Structure 1
Amino acid sequence: MPINIRSLAAIALYIIFTGCFATQPVDELRAVQMQPFGRSSVNEQQDLELISSASQVGFSFEGTTCNLQVSLPAWLHHNYLQYELDGVYQKRIRIDSASNKPVIITAPKAGKHTVWIYKATEAHTGAIILHSARAKHIQALQRPAAPLIEFIGNSITCGAAADASEVPCGAGVYHDQHNAYMAYGPRVARALGVNYIMSSVSGIGIYRNWNSDGPTMPQVYEKADFNLQSKQTWNFSTYTPQIVSIALGTNDFSNGDGVHPRRPFDSVAFVQPYIQFVQLVKTKYPQAQIALLSSAMLHDQKRALLQNCLMAVKQQVDALFPSAKPVALYFFEPMQARGCTGHPSVEDHEILANELLPFFKKLLK
């Protein structure tokens, strides 16, 4: 019987390819199998949308590379992820809507590795959509059990305008300098070994925003993406924070953009909605310790006035909830911020975090 050379070649290729896949299987982790932490949602296509600042997913894999398939909403040009590899922060990753190439994460050597992917930008920047991750023996990770802190705030809490290492201040678009991972809240949480979620929106305030009358944080807090027009509300039973940190007021004190009419700051208009907002938070997390933070960006008379307002909020909330833990207050030292547009830089956030550490450490006890 004559030997068919083409058949032999085909058999040889089959053996080579099946041998490779037998020794180096590539597994797929679908979005619905991931265990997100932070505000997120699963869309109609069964893909995972990371919504809030520093919302995150983790997985382990073996080998040296893993591929992450991601996309953006049609209206969004680009956005940013950032990641840890084996517990060490690596970098931000720009995601462009025009590209469908997977994000490739490379480890320096073979073996088992862990990766945590974080959304670098805030909710109003738009969601980052995760479809799947592929790697050898890839498995979803959950956040380790630990106390939880929710950080409610504005652009400072977001880590907005903090990182000009890739796009200089004044260039690009607003979210090009976002770095949620390096903001003060996540830094505090990592230093204390606790978990965190971030509920923050640039420019937002308690009774007015930096250049408008709203919508304010009390109006959008219950919306999953902090968008007043959104039909999707957030399920507050998803997490049970031990501490809820609220850092609002900087934008209420703003002089505005010089275009829209701006009245002088009104203490009564600030204090009453703040009390109501704390009451709202308490309906979501009845056992949580409430902590009110001032603003390191305010100085002199504005700084003193905000502190007085926060003391008034504490006094009235404590009177309304006499059996609850008293509201905790922290007043930042004034700072001359070195980031973009008057915001704290990545280095400034480290200063803020170090300043806050003893305060939160005491509250956790």
Structure 2
Amino acid sequence: MQSRPRSFAGALALATFLCAGPCSAAVTVAPSDPKLQYTGRIDFADPAAPVLSWPGTGIAGTFTGSTLALKLDDQRGRNYFNVFIDGDVARPQVVHAAKGSGTYTVASGLAAGPHRFLVTKRTEGEEGATVFRGLELADGATLGDPPARPQRRIEFYGDSITSAMGNEAPDDGPDDLPAQKNSFLSYAAIAARAVDAEAHFISKSGIGVMISWFPWTMPQYFDQLDAVDDNASAWDFGRWTPQVVVINLMQNDKWLIDREKRLQPVPDDAERVRRYRAFVAQIRARYPQAHIVCALGSMDATEAGSRWPGYVATAVAQLRQDGDRHLSTLVFPFTGFAKHPRLRHHQANAVLLEKHLREQMGW
């Protein structure tokens, strides 16, 4: 097995990129084992082969023994995963899943006694889906009871900002490398952990409310079970109900309508408000009791003089006038950074979101 260390920008964290290789573990854990704890929109149509496609989807558990390996079957060979052992979030093992089936040793030489693991998908549907084929443990090892789930739940709807596009890239580097996309360190994930909430991340780089960089929009995409492209899969909203929904969209609408002139005829202010309001109403129909945070930022949709925060605020004001009181707005200020937010920007935005959630929800 070959590995190489990598420094995370701003975090001083050391990770190891892992490639497929043989594993000496002797105990196989099936994906359907009830002691495995899954998080996120995961396709369990085949319990022996659950499919992870959304960013931040995860698998957690406890185990004994000195080794741990993942068995993955990846669609495109572009996905990356974090693996945290014993709660050490500063030093994840970073698995680059090769296309096809592979076994990835993520821990070895562990001390005797129980250990914890958490696997999270760093990348999004843009990089494809991954089938989880189970775990391999050391000879004689067993799974223990899974960790307790948080009682609080937040669902996020967003674009590349929520997907953490480029958050681990250097300031002068490219924005679109899958290896530098880490949903675990998005503002959304950081804030959710800060308030001890389980989170689902329904985000797609390039997506908008009225127009996207591809032929579908979030109102057409938000209810999918499978995050890979536009498809007919359907998420069962009864499976998981959040107390809070955070919507952070319209950055791509701003670019594509105002800068690129790709939506014709150009929608006027009233139409922009109406379309955003319609999407919020779609979410409200799914979650009648949830508090919805209508957020925007932190790219140039919130720069000084931008009219886009006003569209969001107007839509929320109209919805409140119509009787929906469980709504609030939050603007993440534009810092002037011309690319996707880096880790320091996500951390700053997480502080703002955490404060907002505590104020609105009493958390």
TM above 0.5, yes or no, is yes
Does residue 1:132 correspond to 2:134, yes or no? Answer: yes
Check 1:222–1:298 CA distance in 2 against 1; reply closer, same or farther (3 A cut): same
Task: Please identify, of 173-182 and 248-257, the stretch whose mean Cα deviation from structure 2 is larger.
Answer: 248-257
Alignment of 1:265-276 (within 5 A): 266-276=268-278
- 1:300 CA drift (Å): 7.0
Check 1:139–1:181 CA distance in 2 against 1; reply closer, same or farther (3 A cut): same
Paired residue for 2:341? Answer: 344
Does residue 1:169 correspond to 2:146, yes or no? Answer: no
Structure with the higher fraction of residues in helix conformation: 1
Paired residue for 1:199? Answer: 202
Partners in 2 of 1:274 and 1:258 — Cα distance? 19
Paired residue for 1:159? Answer: 164
Alignment of 1:325-364 (within 5 A): 325-337=325-337, 342-364=339-361
- 1:280 CA drift (Å): 1.1
Partners in 2 of 1:64 and 1:257 — Cα distance? 56
Check 1:266–1:259 CA distance in 2 against 1; reply closer, same or farther (3 A cut): closer
Check 1:176–1:70 CA distance in 2 against 1; reply closer, same or farther (3 A cut): same
- 1:205 CA drift (Å): 0.8
CA contact (8 A) 1:57 1:141 kept: no
**What residue identity is the alignment partner of 2:163?**
C
- 1:65 CA drift (Å): 1.2
TM-score (norm 1): 0.82
SS at match of 1:138: coil
Partners in 2 of 1:32 and 1:186 — Cα distance? 26
**What residue identity is the alignment partner of 1:84?**
F
CA contact (8 A) 2:40 2:58 kept: yes
SS at match of 1:272: helix
- 1:299 CA drift (Å): 5.9
TM-score (norm 2): 0.82
Paired residue for 1:88? Answer: 88
Paired residue for 2:77? Answer: 77
Paired residue for 2:6? Answer: none
Choose 1 or 2 for highest CA Rg. Answer: 1
Alignment of 1:210-359 (within 5 A): 211=213, 214-226=215-227, 229-255=230-256, 261=262, 266-298=268-300, 304-320=306-322, 322=323, 324-337=324-337, 342-359=339-356
The root-mean-square deviation of aligned C-alpha atoms, in Å, is 2.8
SS at match of 1:130: strand
Partners in 2 of 1:305 and 1:188 — Cα distance? 27
Partners in 2 of 1:303 and 1:327 — Cα distance? 24
Alignment gaps of 5+ in structure 2:
1-24
CA contact (8 A) 2:191 2:353 kept: yes
Identity %: 22
Does residue 1:178 correspond to 2:181, yes or no? Answer: yes
CA contact (8 A) 1:295 1:303 kept: no
**What residue identity is the alignment partner of 2:29?**
L
Alignment gaps of 5+ in structure 1:
1-24
Partners in 1 of 2:292 and 2:123 — Cα distance? 25
**What residue identity is the alignment partner of 1:144?**
R
Paired residue for 2:3? Answer: none
**What residue identity is the alignment partner of 1:345?**
R
